[in-house]
Amino acid sequence: MLNKLCLLYCGSPEYLSKQTDSYKKPNITFHGGKKVDLNIVAKMNEFAGFLKLLRKLDENN
């Protein structure tokens, strides 16, 4: 459950448990009056994290 919350809110377990203030706000926004599926939001955040990791790995090579 903690991993799902971390993905949903783009925060680490330490951030969610208030052990740190370190938080990087995601650049994904939703517009319109439609209901947002939180599972989709979590998956998009996970995907964005993977892209950041790939960029970082590419920069190091």
pLDDT of residue 54 exceeding 80: yes
- State the DSSP string of 16-50: HTTS------------SSSPP-HHHHHHHHHHHHH
pLDDT in tens, 18-47: 888 887 766 666 666 677 778 887 888 888
The answer to whether 30 touches 36, Cβ cutoff 8 Å, is yes
pTM: 0.52
Mean pLDDT for the stretch of residues 4-30: 76
